[in-house]
Amino acid sequence: MSVVSAPQRVASRNLQKHRNPNPLHQWLLQRFHHRVATLVSEALAALPGEGRSGQRQVTLLDAGCGEGFVTAFLAGQFPMLRVLGIEPRPEALAYAREQLPTAGWLAADIYHLPLADSSAPIVLCLEVLEHLERPWEALEELQRVCSGALVLSVPNQPYFALANLLRLKNLPTLGDDPEHASHWRGSTFLRLAQRQLQVDRAVTAFPWIVLRGRPLPRR
């Protein structure tokens, strides 16, 4: 009798990143998660009426949620959140469902989100835009579905590359991730984001920059 083994999951770079046992690496990730949580807390406080008091659920869309690590962390920090994670990779969504079965998980394209206009009070897009060929087009779609605050993060060059080189990672590309289509210094990304958003706050979480903003009025 032959035995068919279950297919092994392909470890994405995001999964490898969050499963890296290095203590310094994990400290940097936790610092990043807490920076994001602070900006989400500020976004909740800015919501009108019952949303800021936690008396009703508030939808948080995590666009490009990956395996759901940040999504699950935020759900644990803020019980009032009704979490929806969107990700194009089925294997990542399967992992995310195991982490947080109570959340909503959808396979979708960030350029064509299956949500109505202004339907999500809080929209996250973390460590995604640098992977896209058309990041500013994706940002327009994120603004379309957002009714409150957007929280965005990207690697802050050259610090991101330097951190990789110090770990002897991505040496052939001088520390740059070969999957990244765009590279920004923190100040450059902030200036570009201000063309499309009302940026309320930007913080650093080495080697990332994280900002909180609001959609500009539609023309």
Render pLDDT for 96-119 as a digit per residue (tens, 0 to 9): 999 999 999 999 999 999 999 999
Predicted model pTM: 0.89
Say if residues 154 and 189 touch (Cβ distance below 8 Å).
yes
* Residue-averaged pLDDT of the chain: 88
- The C-alpha atoms of residue 154 and residue 177 are separated, in whole angstroms, by 12
**CA nearest to 143, candidates 191, 193, 73, 200:** 193
Select from 28, 82, 216, 79 the least CA-distant residue to 139.
216
| pLDDT tens digits for range 138-168 | 999 999 999 999 999 999 988 876 776 666 6
Alpha-carbon gap, residue 187 to 105, rounded angstroms: 33
Token duo for residue 214: 């609001």
Tell me what pLDDT residue 4 has.
32
Confidence of residue 19 (pLDDT cuts 50, 70, 90): confident
pLDDT single digits (tens) 30-47: 999 999 999 999 999 999
pLDDT score at 174 = 64
∠186-96-212 over CA atoms, to 5°? 30
**pLDDT, mean of residues 45-68:** 82
pLDDT band, very low/low/confident/very high, at 180 (cuts 50, 70, 90) = confident
What superfamily in CATH does domain 22-214 come from? Answer: Vaccinia Virus protein VP39 (3.40.50.150)
| Residue 179: band (very low, low, confident or very high) from pLDDT cuts 50, 70, 90 | confident
DSSP-derived 3-state class of residue 60? strand
Please tell me the predicted confidence (pLDDT) of residue 91.
Answer: 95
155 in Cβ contact with 127 (< 8 Å): yes
